[in-house]
């Protein structure tokens, strides 16, 4: 390895790849260090939902105060979504992006009341939301189960294909001049007077600045710097069905149980929504009870799903913080280090997370305000 760079980006997921590309395009010498393969963790293994509205299970569990505190994140997600809209053209590639709207489907009056309360807070954040009654919902989404009595509809939500996005970003980063080192784990960091020495399996790298985009493992990078980052990995699983006839144009959630459901261009339906995987030793494996619970929830919301055979389930660690807010900004103890960590819905938030991280490395005002948003600014 050449042993110097202006910036070392740790992590080759969506955030690391996009940040590295932005910085290289500004003329900085950037090395991206990835412990495994690019996009092989959450960024390539997620469910591909482009989220915007408040997640219903968390709203139900944590309540209105939590939701109000999350408003800066809603604004951030909306701005990230605008970046998503320009990404296919910027990268000259099909990313499978389709924003046909997201529906949280209710089957009880209590759920409808909660969706109305949720929509009021989303309106405070400036989001366009529509509460649909039974007839309007049936007209928009005839594929839903007959017990659906209404829904919250967020027109800007949708999907992108993670299996396409990360390879395209990897190519774009390399084309911009990023020196990408895969299978190169950062095992230690020493601060120097003018920067840092990163210890890696391929030898030491001296870098003036560091971007921590290590996702679920970012807390370990923090510990190398003497900073406690309240972020952890949580094991999740997702399932895809065999291709079925075109049926579901929307991103579908349920107010009855955790669900995200979408149909890919090839007809396969991706079923997730935050169901846990489990650990066998050090290895993540699918949890059969999560699989059956997730499939049953999908079939309750969209009866045709009962006929669609699951062909593959997979697992990955998601980066999570307790209150869902990001850790985004300069390290409080290690000047020159930027943490770029957006939890739980970091695929949706990835483009703006990278934009802000790059702004901070470049010494510019961040594209979005960080006070109130990032846990680092509390
Ligand atoms: C199953 C699942 C489904 C999800 N569904 C959605 C969804 O539908 N929509 C959505 O918006 N979000 C979703 N998410 C969340 C989203 O995928 C993540 O928040 C996002 O991809 C995080 O991106 P990242 O670049 O920060 O981290 P990652 O993609 O996790 O990348 C971090 C990289 O850092 C590397 N790394 C870690 N430690 C080191 C080290 N010491 N040295 C070198 N490299 C290191 C890792 O190998 C990894 O490649 C889901 C997550 C999972 C797991």
Residues 125 and 240 in one domain: yes
Residues 167 and 315 in one domain: no
What's the pLDDT score for residue 2? 57
> How many separate domains does the chain show?
2
Phi, psi of 61 (to 5 degrees): -80, -40
Q: Is residue 81 part of a domain?
A: no
* Region class of 151: left (phi > 0), else alpha (psi between -120 and 50), else beta: beta
Q: Is residue 40 part of a domain?
A: yes
Residues 152 and 266 in one domain: yes
Residues 154 and 238 in one domain: yes
Q: Which of 17, 22, 215 to mutate to test the pocket of ligand 1 (most atoms within 8 A of CB)?
A: 215
Q: Is residue 351 part of a domain?
A: yes
Measure 352 CA to ligand 1 centroid, in angstroms. 15
Q: Report the 10 Å Cβ neighbour count for 115.
A: 26
Residues 315 and 358 in one domain: no
Residues 115-145 have pLDDT tens digits of 999 999 999 999 999 999 999 999 999 999 9
Whole domain around residue 354: which residue ranges?
Answer: 4-45+163-231+323-377
Q: In the predicted model, what is the mean pLDDT of residues 23-44?
A: 98
Measure 211 CA to ligand 1 centroid, in angstroms. 15
pTM of full prediction above 0.75: yes
With a 6 Å cutoff on the Cβ, whether 286 touches ligand 1 is: no
Quick one: CA torsion of 169, 171, 173, 174, rounded to 10 degrees? 160
Of 294, 282, 33, the closest CA to residue 181 belongs to 33
What's the pLDDT score for residue 92? 96
298-322 exposure pattern, b = at least 16 Cβ within 10 A, e = fewer: bbbbbebbeebebeebbbbbbbbbe
Nearest CA to ligand 1 atom 37: 214
Last residue of a domain, one of 320, 336, 369: 320
The domain that holds 104 is classified in CATH as: 3.30.9.10
Q: Which of 32, 36, 40, 41 to mutate to test the pocket of ligand 1 (most atoms within 8 A of CB)?
A: 41
Look up residue 143 and give its two tokens: 């594929």
Look up residue 218 and give its two tokens: 């970012």
DSSP single-letter state for residue 98: B
Residues 311-363 have pLDDT tens digits of 999 999 999 999 999 999 999 999 999 999 999 999 999 999 999 999 999 99
Q: Report the 10 Å Cβ neighbour count for 232.
A: 16
Look up residue 297 and give its two tokens: 């929830």
Look up residue 269 and give its two tokens: 């339906």
With a 6 Å cutoff on the Cβ, whether 339 touches ligand 1 is: no
Query: Quick check: 167 and 181 in contact, CB under 8 A?
Result: no
Q: Could you tell me which residues are beta bridge partners of residue 172?
A: none
Look up residue 185 and give its two tokens: 């784990």
Helices first, then strands: H and E counts in the chain: 10, 20
Residues 163-208 have pLDDT tens digits of 999 999 999 999 999 999 999 999 999 999 999 999 999 999 999 9
Last residue of a domain, one of 320, 338, 368: 320
Last residue of a domain, one of 299, 320, 341: 320
Q: Which of 1, 8, 10, 11 to mutate to test the pocket of ligand 1 (most atoms within 8 A of CB)?
A: 11
Q: Could you tell me which residues are beta bridge partners of residue 270?
A: 240, 262
Residues 117 and 14 in one domain: no
Quick one: CA torsion of 198, 199, 202, 205, rounded to 10 degrees? 30
Residues 194-244 have pLDDT tens digits of 999 999 999 999 999 999 999 999 999 999 999 999 999 999 999 999 999
Q: In the predicted model, what is the mean pLDDT of residues 20-45?
A: 98
Nearest CA to ligand 1 atom 13: 345
What's the pLDDT score for residue 279? 96
Give me the percent of the chain exceeding a pLDDT of 70: 99
Give the three-class secondary structure for 141. Answer: coil
pLDDT(306) > 80: yes
Q: Is residue 225 part of a domain?
A: yes
Q: Could you tell me which residues are beta bridge partners of residue 10?
A: 33, 212
- The CA distance from 353 to 58, in Å, is 22
- The CA distance from 374 to 340, in Å, is 10
The domain that holds 212 is classified in CATH as: 3.50.50.60
Q: Is residue 356 part of a domain?
A: yes
- The CA distance from 218 to 289, in Å, is 29
Residues 152 and 202 in one domain: no
Q: Is residue 60 part of a domain?
A: no
Residues 243 and 175 in one domain: no
Where residue 21 falls among pLDDT bands split at 50, 70, 90?
very high
Q: Which of 22, 214, 357 to mutate to test the pocket of ligand 1 (most atoms within 8 A of CB)?
A: 214
Q: Is residue 50 part of a domain?
A: no
Measure 373 CA to ligand 1 centroid, in angstroms. 20
What's the pLDDT score for residue 57? 98
Q: Is residue 272 part of a domain?
A: yes
What's the pLDDT score for residue 314? 98
Residues 167 and 316 in one domain: no
Residues 21 and 151 in one domain: no
Residues 308 and 168 in one domain: no
Query: Quick check: 255 and 104 in contact, CB under 8 A?
Result: yes
Query: Quick check: 69 and 111 in contact, CB under 8 A?
Result: no
Residues 46-97 have pLDDT tens digits of 999 999 999 999 999 999 999 999 999 999 999 999 999 999 999 999 999 9
Residues 193 and 307 in one domain: no
As a whole number of Å, the CA-based R_g of the chain is 21
With a 6 Å cutoff on the Cβ, whether 328 touches ligand 1 is: no
């Amino acid at each position: 390895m050449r042993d110097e760079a202006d910036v070392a980006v740790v992590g080759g997921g969506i955030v690391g790849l996009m940040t590295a590309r932005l910085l290289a395009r500004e003329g900085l010498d950037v090395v991206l260090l990835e412990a495994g393969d690019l996009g092989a963790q959450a960024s390539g293994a997620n469910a591909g939902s482009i989220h915007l509205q408040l997640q219903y299970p968390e709203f139900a569990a944590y309540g209105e105060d939590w939701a109000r505190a999350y408003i800066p994140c809603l604004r951030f997600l909306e701005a990230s979504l605008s970046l998503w809209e320009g990404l296919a053209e910027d990268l000259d590639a099909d990313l499978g992006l389709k924003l046909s709207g997201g529906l949280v489907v209710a089957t009880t009056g209590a759920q409808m009341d909660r969706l109305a309360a949720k929509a009021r807070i989303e309106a405070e954040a400036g989001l366009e939301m529509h509460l649909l009654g039974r007839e309007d919902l049936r007209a928009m989404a005839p594929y839903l189960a007959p017990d659906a009595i209404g829904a919250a509809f967020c027109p800007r939500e949708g999907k992108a294909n993670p299996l396409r996005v990360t390879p395209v970003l990897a190519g774009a980063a390399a084309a911009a001049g990023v020196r990408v080192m895969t299978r190169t784990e950062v095992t230690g960091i020493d601060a120097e007077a003018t920067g840092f020495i990163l210890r890696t399996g391929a030898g030491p790298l001296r870098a003036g600045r560091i971007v921590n985009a290590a996702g679920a493992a970012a807390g370990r990078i923090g510990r190398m710097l003497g900073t406690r980052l309240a972020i952890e990995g949580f094991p999740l699983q997702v399932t895809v069905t065999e291709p079925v006839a075109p049926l579901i144009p929307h991103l579908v959630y349920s107010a009855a149980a955790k669900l995200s459901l979408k149909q890919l261009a090839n007809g396969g339906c991706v079923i997730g929504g935050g169901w846990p995987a489990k650990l066998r030793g050090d290895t993540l494996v699918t949890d059969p009870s999560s699989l059956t619970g997730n499939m049953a929830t999908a079939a309750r919301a969209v009866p045709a799903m009962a006929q669609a055979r699951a062909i593959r389930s997979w697992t990955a660690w998601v980066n999570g913080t307790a209150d869902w807010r990001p850790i985004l900004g300069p390290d409080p103890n290690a000047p020159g280090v930027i943490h770029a960590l957006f939890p739980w819905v970091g695929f949706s938030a990835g483009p703006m997370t990278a934009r802000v991280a790059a702004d901070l490395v470049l010494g510019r005002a961040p594209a979005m305000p960080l006070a109130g948003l990032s846990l680092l600014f509390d």
